[in-house]
Amino acid sequence: MDTSKLKPNDPRVKYETKQVRGKTYSYILGEPQGPKVETIFLIHGWPDMAFGWRCQIPYLMSLGFQVVAPNMVGYAGTDAPEDLKEYSFQSVCADIVALAREFVGEKGQIVLGGHDWGGAIVWRVAYYYPELIKAVFSVCTPLNPINTKKVRLENIIAAGGLPNFKYQLQLGGPDVQARIQGKDMLRKFFLALFGARGPGGETGFNTSEGVLFDNLDKLRPPLLLDEQELEHYVEQYSLHGPPEMRGPLNWYRTREINSEQEAEHAKKNGSAMKYEMPALFISASRDSALPPAMAKGMDTFYTDLTRTEVNASHWALAEAGHEVNRQIGQWLNKVLG
């Protein structure tokens, strides 16, 4: 079968919706040609959508997987509720479990993969619902152990910690939501986030400041997306009326909810984390938000962790698509036998 990357509205896959815990979830569904090996769920990050897995979906279908790639809460054809609790790790995990049960039933299992925020989510799903997960992998995002300390990100950064997370302060604030509205601004926003440069090499985003609004008008191709892909991101993000970025940005407004919920969970269940299922972590050598060094010490939480690396930026799924696919395929072959 043709394993080239999906185009926008590609006829090789289906575009469906399901009601999940009171929300409409839209997702890409890829069916294998022959007998189904397993069902695999792919969870995207920010500012992305199911289409962000375009290089992986046809490849995994060719290996015999049924592939489900949801647009996560707040994104594209999925609802963007007002209530921030709907964007908390525990709520998003429950959404994924409910959607997975629609495909594999009450006793079945899935293979679960994530990129970026999706990587943070898959580690949480595998922690809270290990019985559902046959194998789990994350691209770029290392494990962030259950966070029972209620330290605010502002304080960590003011103390000189996590400088590579400083952009998250801007994203959680009002500016990007207020200033990135309408198709023209969305187009400039995606030029910035997917690596377009100005005539003097200016960037439109960096991990210490976030979106650099003054540079947005200077940005020109090339970037990691081609023209059709860029338009597809703009179209899909425009499905939510202005302020189009409210849903995606809500993912940066849940730190306190998450730490409260995780402290509550830890009080009842302890905070020991041990992953017994096969796990794969693919780091991206040039990811400025999630550098490989952040994974230091993560191995101790796993009984069966495979660690690999790809030579790529944060956008490893598209930038190093073939290598990412090769590493996932090799690992799946090893763990599924």
Ligand X SMILES: O=C(NCCCc1ccccc1)N[C@H]1CC[C@H](OCc2c(F)cccc2F)CC1
Dist. CA 297–CA 285, nearest whole Å: 17
Does 314 interact with ligand X (rule: CB under 6 A)? yes
Segment interacting with ligand X, rule: CB under 6 A, options 33-41, 68-76, 83-91, 141-149: 141-149
Does 142 interact with ligand X (rule: CB under 6 A)? yes
Cα-based distances in Å from 5 to 45, 208, 319, 331: 18, 32, 12, 21
Dist. CA 108–CA 299, nearest whole Å: 27
Nearer to ligand X, 61 or 69 (CB): 69
**Residue 145 C-beta: closest distance to ligand X, Å:** 9
Nearer to ligand X, 86 or 287 (CB): 287
Q: Name which position in 17, 62, 90, 144 contacts ligand X (CB under 6 A).
A: 144
Q: Is 314 a catalytic residue?
A: yes
Cis check: omega of the bond before 222, within 30 degrees of 0: yes
Q: Name which position in 32, 45, 52, 172 contacts ligand X (CB under 6 A).
A: 45
Q: Which of 44, 116, 232, 287 is catalytic?
A: 116
Q: Could you tell me which of 323, 317, 330 has the C-alpha nearest to residue 53?
A: 317
Q: Name which position in 112, 135, 230, 289 contacts ligand X (CB under 6 A).
A: 289
Classify the C-alpha dihedral 4-5-8-11 as positive or negative: positive
Q: Name which position in 46, 65, 237, 302 contacts ligand X (CB under 6 A).
A: 46
Edge-to-edge, what's the strand order for the sheet holding 66-70?
14-20, 23-30, 66-70, 39-43, 110-115, 133-139, 279-284, 305-310
Q: Name which position in 71, 207, 236, 283 contacts ligand X (CB under 6 A).
A: 207
Q: Residue for token digits 């198709």? A: 183
Dist. CA 49–CA 262, nearest whole Å: 26
User: Please, are residues 101 and 129 in contact by the beta-carbon 8 Å criterion?
Assistant: no
**Residue 62 C-beta: closest distance to ligand X, Å:** 29
Does 148 interact with ligand X (rule: CB under 6 A)? no
Angle at 71 between CA 26 and CA 8, to 5 degrees: 85
Q: Is 116 a catalytic residue?
A: yes
Q: Name which position in 141, 177, 258, 283 contacts ligand X (CB under 6 A).
A: 141
Nearer to ligand X, 17 or 288 (CB): 288
Nearer to ligand X, 29 or 257 (CB): 257
Q: Name which position in 65, 117, 302, 331 contacts ligand X (CB under 6 A).
A: 117
Angle at 281 between CA 279 and CA 286, to 5 degrees: 175
Please name the amino acid found at residue 157. Answer: I
Convert residues 150-179 into a mask of x (bound to ligand X by CB under 6 A) and - (unbound). ------------------x-----------
Nearer to ligand X, 39 or 313 (CB): 313
- How many CB atoms neighbour CB 103 within 10 A? 14
| Helices 89-104 + 117-128 axis angle, to 10 | 70
**Residue 337 C-beta: closest distance to ligand X, Å:** 30
Site for ligand X in 217-276 (CB under 6 A): none
- List residues near ligand X by CB under 6 A: 45-46, 116-117, 120, 141-142, 144, 168, 193, 205, 207, 288-289, 294, 314
Which residues carry out catalysis? 116, 314
